[in-house]
Structure formats: structure tokens, C-alpha cells
Amino acid sequence: MQHTPLPGTDQAVEEFVRRLDGAVPHGDAATGHGPDAASDAGLPEPPEVLALPLAERHRLFEAGDLSPDEVRTAAAAWQPRADALYRACAELHEPGPGDLLRLGVKDTIDVTGFATRLGLRHHRHLPRESAAVLARLTGARVNAKVATTELNIGVGSGCVNPFFPDIDPAGSSTGSAVAVAAHICDVSLGTDVLGSVRWPAGRCGVVGLRTTHDPAHLPGIFPLSPPMDAAGWVGRTADDLSFAWRRMGLGDTVPSRPLRVGIPRELARPGVLDDEVAGVLESTAEALRGIGHHTVHSDLGELWDCRGDGWTLCARDAYDGYLRWRSHLADDLMESTRAALDTGAKVDDETYRRVRDRMARIRSGAAGLFAQREVDVWLLPLDPAVPRVRSTAPAAASTIPDADDPAYEREIGFTPVASFAGLPAITFPAALSAKAAAPVAVQRLGTPGAEPELIRVAQDFASAVGEIRRRPRGL
């Protein structure tokens, strides 16, 4: 059957196509898939002033060799082009004054002047006040609400990994890592329940910090699992994160000092780590020894054994919360989100009480365990295996591991150790995989309030071994 367009239809379609042709490329070429995608795409370079280390940019401001207006102009031109490629933002605003850090905030955290969407298509609320964690920040201005997964617990956010486009950024704070990696934001705020900041940071080749669990910081943050919810920060490098930490008034930095670094003996059990990850862990430990730290192998004990309880607690808390606020939601939830909530519905009250009692006991003795084992920080990989490329990774049915899965012990991973104990943890890339175009990240756990020391250790490591190659493909 032949169709005759109505008058004006062809012109309207052609005008739309013209606008698409004039936009930043997207799809396979933009995301770097295919051997020649990056070279053939003809995509723009990020402005040099946005790629500068934050401390260097600030030094140039003070010396009068760079003006804030130059940075603002460059950011205003770059942000929408980069977001068209990497889909990091739920809402993107014009940048503020160029001497303020551009701050991205996860779309489960309230910010006045922005809608909070919770990763849902149809939900939005406009908060009257910003979240408590943002209340006293200095030297930064929010320029973006960044993408997240559905209700913090669904699978997939639609973001594209700038540095490693074949690797799923993962985690619910996906947009926080992607926006920083893509130079859309200088630093980003996310949340970390069981690794939600650490996973995307590790997969994107940037630095992610889970902060100490502190209920005073949680008002205005969507409550997925209040006993484990924590604010998390992402920077392109440890040096950038250190600068932002001071600049935003989050705390002071600390000088380097020799630390006793504990490596859990449990990691040496058969089948716990893939060979390549085990090799990266050992080379990281060797590098730390080379810059004056001491390593010791010791048992995590109950901290290791509680990893599955972290997932159980999160599932039940998510389900209980959903029962309270579901009447405010208009969306039909994704199957993966419903599957995670259904898992929580199966956690009975007795199990939940047992898990909460265990958490209280562990947290009361967590700092003592460091002293008992004679360690200052713990060193673990981020994951048991190197991240798999999208084409070979099976689609996940749920974010909550299935206790009946034969691979359950590997699926629960290592991130719950810090979460269940309420501890701060920093993750950063330690190496590039020899087998796949993927970063291999490690994490360090510290005592409550040890964030500045964790940042310093990450800085020392990067200074000793150098930054891994992190040039965005397609940028």
C-alpha cells in the first residue's frame, strides 16, 4: 500500500532529521563499539580546562592564568554534548560560576531547584529543602541530577561507560561515576548501600568513596536500607577527590604515614578470586610495601561471614519501605525491581531480627577488630572477577543475589563488609585487565571517620604506580 504524506509532513520530518544530524553522534559509533568506532566517529574533544586536575585549575585561578569565565563557558558548551553521548543526567542545568566545583547529585537525593525522580519515568517531587548531606557544602554548585536505577534497586540505568564502553557501569549510583568520568561534573554525590558508589566508580576507572554510616546525613536521601545507607563521593582521581573534600568543607586532609594493611586470609580460599584479580591484589600489596606501608594477612572472621546478611537486610528493608511509600508512585515497576522486592518479602521477622542483632554486635566491635588484628586499613578487591563485557555477561534478573544459586558466595562479593559494619571504604583502579579492556579495582576499608586517611592512601598508591589509562573512547 502506498502512503501519501499530508502536506507539511515531509518538511517536518526533514527538519527533525536535520536537527539529529547536527547533534552529537550517538549509538554504536558514539559508544565506541567496533574496532574503528572511536577513530571514525569524529567526536569532539573535551575542553582542556575541564580535564585539568582540580588543584591545578584552582592554582591557575589564583595565579590569574585562567579565568572562571573560561571554565564556565567551556562547561556550558561541553555538558550537553557529553550527556548526549553518555546519558549520565536526569536533569542538567547551566554551570554556575567557573570557580565553583560542578557537583552532580544522584537522583535519589533531594536538591532544591531540581526534581527528584528516584529512577522512575513518571515520578517526581520538588523538594522544599536539600538533603542534610548538602546543607553545609562550600565551594560547589549542583549542575546536574544524575541517573540512577529504578528505586535504587532495579537493573540498568541507561548510562554508557565513557572510558570502557563495553563494560556496564553497574551500581545504582551509575550516573555519579559516569558524569564525573565524562567531565560533565567535577565531583559527584551518590549513595552506597552495598556498593552502589564503589561499583560504578570501579567500572568507570575513577575513584569512589563510601563514607561512614551516619544517620544524621540521611534526611533527604531516599531510604533503601537505612541501617546501611551512606553518602558516597566520586572524583576522577584520588587527588581530585582530596581537593574536593577540602574545598567543599567535608574535612581536612592528612599527611602520609606508614600503615598496617590487612589482607583477609579468606581471599586465599579456593575459588574466591579469579587468578587475574588475585594477581592485581598482590601487585597492589607490593606497591604499598614499596611506599612504606606494611602488609599482614589476617582473618576478617565474622566481618567476612556477614556478607550475605547484608543482602538479606537490604532486601527486607527495601520491601518494608515499598509498602509504606508505594501509594505515592504511579509507575509500573520493572521485573528486576519487583524481583528484588519479592526477595525481601520472603525474609521473615525472625531472620530480620537475627540479622539486625548481628549488625549491632559487629558495629559495636568493628573498631576493636582493627586493633585486635593490628591493622589500620583492610585491602580487598572490588570484585572476585574482572568485569565482563556486555556481550558476554548474562542479563541479571535481580540485583539481590539468589541464596540458592551455586555461585552465591561469589555473587554476594566483598562490598557488604564495609556496608554491614558501617565503615568507610574507598575504591580506585589498580590495573587494566590483560584479558579485557576493563579496569581492575581494589577497595580499602578504614575505621569510622577514617575517610581522609583512605583518600591519602589512594593518593599515595596513584603517585607510586601512576594513573591507569583513562582516555574516554569517543571523546
The per-residue pLDDT for 192 is: 98
CA–CA–CA angle 51, 253, 283 (5° rounding): 70
Q: In sequence order, which residues have a C-beta less than 8 Å from that of residue 344 and are 6 or more positions away?
A: 314, 315, 316, 317, 318, 319, 320, 322, 400
Give the C-alpha separation, 473 to 209, whole Å: 25
The per-residue pLDDT for 17 is: 52
Asked whether the beta carbons of 203 and 176 are under 8 A apart, the reply is no
Q: In sequence order, which residues have a C-beta less than 8 Å from that of residue 371 and are 6 or more positions away?
A: none
**Domains observed in the chain:** 24-29+44-465 (3.90.1300.10)
**What is the helix (H) or strand (E) element at residue 309, kind and residue range?**
helix 307-325
The per-residue pLDDT for 158 is: 86
Cell of 321: 519501605
How many C-beta atoms lie closer than 10 Å to residue 475's C-beta? Answer: 23
Length of the chain: 475
Q: Percent helix, strand, coil in the chain (nearest 5)?
A: 40, 15, 45
Give the C-alpha separation, 24 to 331, whole Å: 31
Which single residue is written with the C-alpha cell 606508614?
258
Give the C-alpha separation, 315 to 224, whole Å: 9
Per-residue pLDDT of the chain (475 residues; tens, 9 = 90+): 555 555 555 666 566 456 545 554 444 433 333 333 333 344 457 899 999 999 999 999 999 999 999 999 999 999 999 999 999 999 999 999 999 999 999 999 999 999 999 999 999 999 999 999 999 999 999 999 999 999 999 888 789 999 899 999 988 999 999 999 999 999 999 999 999 999 999 999 999 999 999 999 999 999 999 999 999 999 999 999 999 999 999 999 899 899 999 999 999 999 999 999 999 999 999 999 999 999 999 999 999 999 999 999 999 999 999 999 889 888 889 899 999 999 999 999 999 999 999 999 999 998 899 999 999 999 999 999 999 887 776 667 788 999 989 999 999 999 999 999 999 999 999 999 977 789 999 999 999 999 999 999 999 999 998 877 655 554 4
Which single residue is written with the C-alpha cell 554548585?
141
Asked whether the beta carbons of 37 and 27 are under 8 A apart, the reply is no
Cell of 45: 574533544
